[in-house]
Amino acid sequence: MAGIRQILQRKKAADSVRRITRTMEMISTARYKSYQNKRNSVVEYHDALAQIGYLLVTPQEPIDHPLLKENNSGNSAILAVGSSRGLCGAYNSYVSSLVDIHIRAAKDAGKTLDIYATESRLTSLLHYHNITPKEIYPDLDKATSGNHLDNIAEEFVKQYMAGKIDSFNIVYMRYYSASCQQAQTLTILPLTELIDNLTTRATVIWPWGKISFEDFILSPAAFEIIKSLAKTIVRSSIESCLVDAAMSEYLARMIAMRNATDNAEDMIKELTNDYNYARQSQITGELLDIVSGTGALQ
Amino acid sequence: MPRAKQLYWRENRSSTMAETHNIFRCVIVSPAGKLLDCRASSVVFTARDGSMGVLHNHTPMLCELGTGFMEITAEPENGNANGNGSGHKKALIAGGFALVSSNLVNIIADDAVCVWNTSREKIELLLEKSKKIIDTAGLTSHQKWLENKKMTLLKEMLATAK
């Protein structure tokens, strides 16, 4: 059994670990809550965009626009969103394994796959699996400015319109609820698939009754509106994926840190018991020494 | 009177009032949330190709927004003449879409600032933010032009702010 001093040292170490993990848990909780508020506030904006999108893809005569048509360029792109910090359980591994599935699926289909990634621990995981991302966005995180996202959205929209890519997906950790987050793929381009996805997620469904696309006056023409809407909708979808990923990350870190705090508390309890036992043994030993010493003197 | 009947009566009364007073609903949503949801008698906003006015029973319309001020003549809720939130309202809208249908004007703004509930300090902060964005590298000339226009309008807001 370790000595009293060693037990005390271990107890102090466990206590400082407990304080650190407790603080990290509190920080993660606060950030998770702030992202949750952000996510809740943007719901109506997404619903409204989904309504416009639905309107533009449901005319009696489909609008002839390259963003609404599928192309067969044989090259697709994915944007993988990972966590830049550790201590969040298997968060990055889930995203990495989904990226791996995409790579295998592209190989099986005889397609090429361009991987774009955020600057995160995910990139080192990808390098470990001999996957080299085409581009890494170093400053694409949850606090990215609107203009930076605009540029990224515009780049992918241009690539799709030029026929360089036939699909653009985001691989991220989707937040369903506080008890359920899953690595998922959201198809951003072709636009019809994104609109389909957004209308499925929307809380409002087609509120105009009998009014159809043909009843609307459009300014500018539908072709131009689709182009502008594509940029807005792609940008807001990337942003919402980043927010979802951030929420899942902070939640994962919160849970990991709570478990670490609980474990440290358990350890402290055990060490306190050990310390008390060792201290009591020492006292008993000292008393026995005194008693036996006194007995010898008599 | 049963609750359901009361609600039905109220709804009917308000719709009749809307027809007689030519009132419709105006909603502004942006990524920051729902900024306004009120009854209005007229709305003027800046579309991509110039100002556009909307009155009661406007034909369904979808248009792209430019950067500029939006003016709303808000009416009190539930026909109460002393209701809160009525009067002339002004908001700065920077890009987005306007969807008009079934007496509902839905402004889906990329960025919006409500003049009536924004303090001087907040406007100054927004101006600082705009300046920083303009100084950022990698902006296209169009993005810079839009941000400059927004800054000019914010300065105009600051001059009239209390």
Instruction: Please judge whether B59 and A215 are an interchain contact, meaning their C-beta atoms are less than 8 angstroms apart.
Output: yes
Nearest alpha-carbon partner for A189 in A237, A137, A222, A221: A237
**A212 has pLDDT over 90:** no
The span from the CA of A288 to the CA of A294, in Å, is 10
B63 touches chain A (CB under 8 A): yes
Question: Does B91 lie in the same domain as B31?
Answer: yes
B30-51 pLDDT, tens digit per residue, is 998 899 999 999 999 999 888 9
What mean pLDDT comes out for the span A81-92? 82
Based on the fold, state whether residues B56 and B23 are members of the same structural domain.
Answer: yes
Mean pLDDT of B13-31: 72
pLDDT tens digits, residue range A30-79?
999 999 998 888 888 988 898 888 888 888 888 888 888 888 888 999 99
Asked if A280 and A165 sit in the same domain, the reply is no
pLDDT of residue A13: 95
Tell if the CB–CB gap between B63 and A228 is shorter than 8 Å.
no
3-state helix/strand/coil string of chain A: CCCHHHHHHHHHHHHHHHHHHHHHHHHHHHHHHHHHHHHHHCHHHHHHHHHHHHHHHCCCCCCCCCCCCCCCCCEEEEEECCCCCCCCCCHHHHHHHHHHHHHHHHHHCCCEEEEEEECCHHHHHHHHCCCCCCEEECCCCCCCCHHHHHHHHHHHHHHHHCCCCCEEEEEEEEEEECCEEEEEEEEEECHHHHHHHHHHHCCCCCCCCCCCHHHCEEECCHHHHHHHHHHHHHHHHHHHHHHHHHHHHHHHHHHHHHHHHHHHHHHHHHHHHHHHHHHHHHHHHHHHHHHHHHHHHC
Number of domains in chain A: 2
Residue A93 domain-assigned (yes or no): yes
What is the average per-residue pLDDT within A171-187? 91
pLDDT at A25: 94
What pLDDT is stored for residue A77 in this prediction? 92
User: What's the one-letter identity of residue B9?
Assistant: W
> Are A219 and B49 a contacting pair at CB < 8 A?
yes
Asked if B49's CB is within 8 angstroms of A220's CB, the reply is: yes
Verify cis geometry, omega within 30 degrees of 0, for the bond prior to A220.
Answer: yes
Give the pLDDT score at B3. Answer: 53
A207 and A282 in a single domain? The answer is no
Same domain, A242 and A282: no
Q: Is B73 on the interface with A (CB under 8 A)?
A: no
What band does B16 get if pLDDT is binned at 50, 70 and 90? very low
Question: What average pLDDT does this structure show over A180-189?
Answer: 91
pLDDT tens per residue across span B104-161: 999 999 989 988 888 888 888 888 888 888 887 777 787 788 888 888 888 888 888 7
Highest mean pLDDT among A17-21, A95-99, A126-130: A17-21
CATH of the domain at B102: 2.60.15.10
Q: Say yes or no for a CB contact (<8 Å) between B136 and A225.
A: no
Cβ of residue B35 closer than 8 Å to a chain A Cβ: no
> How much is the pLDDT for B102?
85
Residue A156 has phi, psi (to 5 degrees) of: -70, -35
- Helices A43-57 and A222-297 pack at an angle, to 10 degrees, of 150
**One domain, residues B105 and B63:** yes
Per-residue pLDDT at B99: 93
State the Cα–Cα distance between residues B95 and B142, nearest whole angstrom: 13
Q: Look at residue A100 and tell me whether its pLDDT is greater than 90.
A: no
- What range does the domain containing B127 cover? 118-162
Q: Check pLDDT > 60 for residue A197.
A: yes
Distance, C-alpha A80 to centroid of its chain: 10
Does residue A126 share a domain with residue A148? Answer: yes
Co-location of B74 and B20 in the same domain = yes
Domain count, chain B: 2
Do B73 and B104 share a structural domain? yes
Chain B residues whose CB is inside 8 A of the A151 CB are 138, 140
SS3 per-residue string spanning chain B: CCHHHHHHHHHHHHHHHHHHHCCEEEEEEECCEEEEEEEEEEEEEEECCEEEEECCCCCCEEEEEEEEEEEEEEECHHHCCCCCCCEEEEEEEEEEEEEEECCEEEEEECCEEECCCCCHHHHHHHHHHHHHHHHCCCCCHHHHHHHHHHHHHHHHHHHHCC
B50 CB within 8 Å of a chain A CB: no
- The rounded mean pLDDT for chain A is 87
Please give the structure tokens belonging to residue A22. Answer: 């407790």
Enclosing domain of residue A19: 4-25+258-297
Q: What is the pLDDT of residue A30?
A: 95
Looking at the structure, tell me whether residues B94 and B147 fall in a common domain.
no
Please indicate, yes or no, whether residues A10 and A126 belong to a single structural domain of this protein. no
Note the maximum CA span of chain A: 115
